[in-house]
Amino acid sequence: MQKILIIEDETQTRNLFLNCLKFEGFEALGADNGSFGVQLAQKFHPGLVVCDIMMPDMDGYQVLSQLRQHPETATIPFIFLTAKVTMSELRQGMTLGADDYLTKPCTIDDFLAAIATRFQRQSELRGQMGTPPAPDLSTADRIFPHCPQLNAVFDFIEANYCQPLHLKDVATVAGYSPAYLTHLMQTQTGRTVKQWIVERRMSEARTLLLQTKQSIKKIAITLGYADPGYFIRQFRQHHGTSPHGWRRQSHIESSLS
């Protein structure tokens, strides 16, 4: 039975989450302040901690910092619970090693989904430990950087870049909130999720322009663009020329080589 610790000073919110977890079959522990929460985490080693940020005696950042300093609690997945979150708060939480944020008030479905995603990601990471990745020179590997925290994001983009993609869809699959994923992606790669989607589409566009005789409209639709004009504008911004111009120049250079 998975053990989950809820650290929340608001009695009604804490009890709501605890009762929900027990109903779902989890072993739920509750703490009404940060100090007691740290004690429970060190004693019972829960599989996940959900912790409010704003608490009177010890705030959530201090709780996370305390847990990350001890080997027996350093790797426990940790979700912050907060009424609001700014970019500076996201940065602070990421620096300390937070895994995700839940914004209050959140629905029970969102709460349970975040927990399920954390356990799934933890299971996947355990399965990958000790198994070095096989060498692969696929297009995706040449485009996307190696970043363990973002591998699930890049895998999802690779599998779905020809479909309409939205930040919320990508974040849900990766197990992050949209705001947290946006900041994590910017911090780790210097780009946004949308920019990586466009990068992958542009790579495929170049392949199709060079290796097929498909029309620009057909290529745009194949890559998930409902509006071929938008595809042409993005291609021009990315390459400094139109798809027609790029195809023509590439064929000329190929014939001369």
Domains and CATH numbers, the chain: 3-128 (3.40.50.2300), 136-257 (1.10.10.60)
Residue 136: the pLDDT is 42
Residue 36: the pLDDT is 95
Distance CA 62, CA 223 (A): 46
Distance CA 250, CA 89 (A): 47
Residue ranges, the chain, pLDDT below 50: 128-138
- Residue in the structure block whose two tokens are 């990745």: 133
Instruction: Identify which of 55, 22, 23, 20 has the alpha carbon closest to the alpha carbon of residue 37.
Output: 55
The maximal CA–CA distance of the chain, rounded, in angstroms, is 75
Report yes or no: 29 and 46 within 8 Å, Cβ to Cβ: yes
Residue 230: the pLDDT is 93
Residue 256: the pLDDT is 67
Pairing assessment for the beta strands 100-103 and 48-52 based on DSSP bridges = unpaired
H helical segments located in 45-148: 60-68, 87-96, 108-128, 139-143
List Cβ<8 Å contacts ≥24 apart for 238-246.
238/198, 238/202, 239/202, 243/205, 243/209, 243/216, 243/219, 244/216, 246/206, 246/209
- Give SS3 for 159: helix
